[in-house]
Amino acid sequence: MTELDRVLGGGIVAGASVLVGGEPGIGKSTLMLQMAAQMRSRSVLYVTGEESARQIRLRADRLGVSNPKLAILAENQLERITRLITPGTVGDPAPYQVVIVDSIQTIASPEAGTVPGTPNQIKYTTFEIADTAREHGVAVFFVAHVTKEGSIAGPRTIEHMVDTVLYFEQSDDETRYLRASKNRFGSTDEIGLFTMQPRGLVQITDPNSVFLVRRSGSLPAGVVVAPVIEGSRVLLVEVQALTVPAKGGISRVFSDKLDSRRVNRMAAVLEKHLGLQFSDHDMYVNVAGGMRIRDVGVELALAVALYSARTDRSFPSATAVAGEVSLAGEIRPVAQMARRARTASEMGFARCLGPGSVRQGESGTPVNWDGVASLEDAVKKIFGAQNGRSTG
Ligand code: TYD
Ligand code: MG
Q: Which domains, from first to last, does the chain contain?
A: 2-205 (3.40.50.300), 211-387 (3.30.230.10)
* pLDDT score at 148: 65
* pLDDT score at 291: 87
* pLDDT score at 172: 67
Task: Give mean pLDDT, residues 117-140.
Answer: 93
The C-alpha atoms of residue 342 and residue 245 are separated, in whole angstroms, by 38
* pLDDT score at 154: 67
387 pLDDT above the threshold of 70: no
151 pLDDT above the threshold of 80: no
Beta strand segments in the chain, E: 17-22, 44-48, 70-74, 98-102, 139-145, 164-170, 175-183, 191-197, 200-203, 223-230, 233-245, 253-255, 281-287, 319-321, 324-325, 331-332, 351-355, 369-372
Closest among 55, 87, 88, 90 to 72, alpha carbons compared: 55
* pLDDT score at 388: 42
Report the separation in Å between the CA atom of 32 and the middle of ligand 2, taken as the mean of its atom positions. 9
Report the separation in Å between the CA atom of 119 and the middle of ligand 1, taken as the mean of its atom positions. 26
Output DSSP code: residue 386: G
Record the pTM: 0.84
Q: Which residue did the predictor score with more confidence, 152 or 77?
A: 77
The C-alpha atoms of residue 14 and residue 246 are separated, in whole angstroms, by 56
Mean pLDDT of the chain: 90
Q: Which residue did the predictor score with more confidence, 211 or 158?
A: 158
Q: Which ligand has the nearest atom to the CA of 196?
A: 1
Q: Which ligand has the nearest atom to the CA of 174?
A: 1
Task: Give mean pLDDT, residues 322-341.
Answer: 95
Q: What is the largest CA-CA distance in the chain?
A: 82
DSSP bridge partners of 192:
178
Report the separation in Å between the CA atom of 59 and the middle of ligand 1, taken as the mean of its atom positions. 9
Q: Which residue did the predictor score with more confidence, 61 or 153?
A: 61
Report the separation in Å between the CA atom of 27 and the middle of ligand 2, taken as the mean of its atom positions. 7
Ligand 1, residue 62: give the atom nearest the CA.
22
Tens of pLDDT, residue by residue over 232-259, are 899 999 999 999 999 887 899 999 999 9
The C-alpha atoms of residue 298 and residue 290 are separated, in whole angstroms, by 15
Residue 84 three-state SS: helix
How many helices (H) and strands (E) are present in the chain, helices listed first?
Answer: 11, 18
Report the residue among 101, 173, 196, 197 best suited for mutation to probe ligand 1: largest number of ligand atoms under 8 A from its CB.
Answer: 196
* pLDDT score at 389: 46
166 pLDDT above the threshold of 50: yes
The C-alpha atoms of residue 313 and residue 243 are separated, in whole angstroms, by 13
207: confidence class by pLDDT, cuts 50, 70, 90: confident
Task: Give mean pLDDT, residues 41-55.
Answer: 93
DSSP bridge partners of 240:
223, 286
Contact 241, 308 (CB under 8 A): yes
Ligand 1, residue 24: give the atom nearest the CA.
8
Which residue's CA is the closest to the ligand 1 atom numbered 18?
198
Contact 80, 48 (CB under 8 A): no
In whole angstroms, what separates CA 96 from the centre of its chain? 30
260 pLDDT above the threshold of 70: yes
Sign of CA dihedral 35, 41, 42, 47: positive
* pLDDT score at 114: 76
Describe the strand order of the beta sheet including 351-355 as a list of residue ranges. 319-321, 351-355, 369-372
Ligand 1, residue 23: give the atom nearest the CA.
7
Give the count of beta carbons closer than 10 Å to the beta carbon of residue 231.
Answer: 18
Which residue's CA is the closest to the ligand 1 atom numbered 9?
27
149 pLDDT above the threshold of 70: no
Tens of pLDDT, residue by residue over 269-300, are 999 999 999 999 999 999 988 888 999 999 99
Residues near ligand 2 ion, CB 5 Å cutoff: 29
Q: Which of 25-29, 55-59, 64-68, 70-74 has the lowest mean pLDDT?
A: 64-68
Task: Give mean pLDDT, residues 31-57.
Answer: 93
Ligand 1, residue 196: give the atom nearest the CA.
19
Closest among 67, 36, 229 to 139, alpha carbons compared: 36
Report the residue among 23, 30, 105, 195 best suited for mutation to probe ligand 1: largest number of ligand atoms under 8 A from its CB.
Answer: 30
Report the separation in Å between the CA atom of 297 and the middle of ligand 1, taken as the mean of its atom positions. 35
The C-alpha atoms of residue 241 and residue 222 are separated, in whole angstroms, by 5
Q: Which ligand has the nearest atom to the CA of 51?
A: 2
164: confidence class by pLDDT, cuts 50, 70, 90: very high
Task: Determine phi and psi for 153, rounding to 5 degrees.
Answer: -60, -35
167: confidence class by pLDDT, cuts 50, 70, 90: very high
Closest among 131, 316, 165, 322 to 234, alpha carbons compared: 322
* pLDDT score at 385: 59
Ligand 1, residue 32: give the atom nearest the CA.
2
Report the separation in Å between the CA atom of 206 and the middle of ligand 2, taken as the mean of its atom positions. 27
Closest among 258, 230, 226 to 341, alpha carbons compared: 226
169 pLDDT above the threshold of 70: yes
